[in-house]
Structure 1
């Protein structure tokens, strides 16, 4: 690669959006935490933090349920980077990833819900 192309490539990398980060530790959700549904995902707002929970592909019906809970290793309202489940009255669904997102991304995903 010639130098102008290397410089252009580096500039494009610097301009690309930052990937969502996985939280480092578990978060204890409470009555002020808010949940919203998105396509194939669940959104959680907890204080100033916002999370996007991606669900297994066969779990679309869970994401559209009216009442949802987050459970990790039997502990209610505990959201962890790994091992969490979204529970509806009729089904449990594994969370495949938990991403920390910003307010703008949260609103975009929320507006594209079912």
Structure 2
């Protein structure tokens, strides 16, 4: 769905089109993408975009792992709205949702670790 139609749909549904939202497409992460851990979540900064990946409740140990990567359907460094996992050297954990956030929300989550 194009941005004007998505914004119109948000307005019709009473939502704020500028607020946090789930991305519509997959994002190929690269060596410049930055990851940070938060309690029960993973933060990703990719270019000017910022994301909050919520993990399944039983995965708090994955979010605290030193080395993480995002995997979707066997493709490393591919983050999708559905079907992605965060992998540590010892475990994989389902991403329950991917939320696009603004710089202020990202920084708050990074500093406060939720």
TM-score bracket, normalised by the shorter chain, equals: 0.7 to 0.9
Runs of 4+ in 1 over 6 A off after TM superposition: none
TM-score (norm 2): 0.83
Quick one: distance in 1 between partners of 2:99 and 2:61? 21
Structure 2: runs of 5+ lacking an equivalent:
1-13
Q: For 1:59, what is the secondary structure of its paired residue?
A: helix
Aligned-residue CA RMSD in angstroms? 1.7
Displacement of 1:112 in angstroms is 1.5
Q: Can you list the C-alpha shifts for 1:34-74, whole angstroms capped at 9, x where unaligned?
A: 00011110000000000000000000000000000100000
Query: How far does residue 20 in structure 1 lie from its aligned partner after superposition?
Result: 1.5
Give 3-state SS (helix, strand or coil) of 1:110's partner.
Answer: helix
* Structure 1 Cα separation of the partners of residues 27 and 67 of structure 2: 20
Answer yes or no: is the 8 Å Cα contact 1:51–1:98 preserved in 2.
yes
The structure with the largest alpha-carbon Rg is 1
Distance in 2 (alpha carbons) for counterparts of 1:26 and 1:47: 15
The equivalent residue for 2:51 is: 51
1:39·1:112 contact (CA, 8 Å) conserved in 2?
no
Is the 1:22–1:98 Cα contact (8 Å) retained in structure 2? Answer: yes
1:92 maps to: 92
Shift of 1:19: 4.2
**Map of 1:38 onto structure 2:** 38
TM-score normalised over the length of structure 1: 0.83
In structure 1, distance between residues paired with 2:65 and 2:19: 28
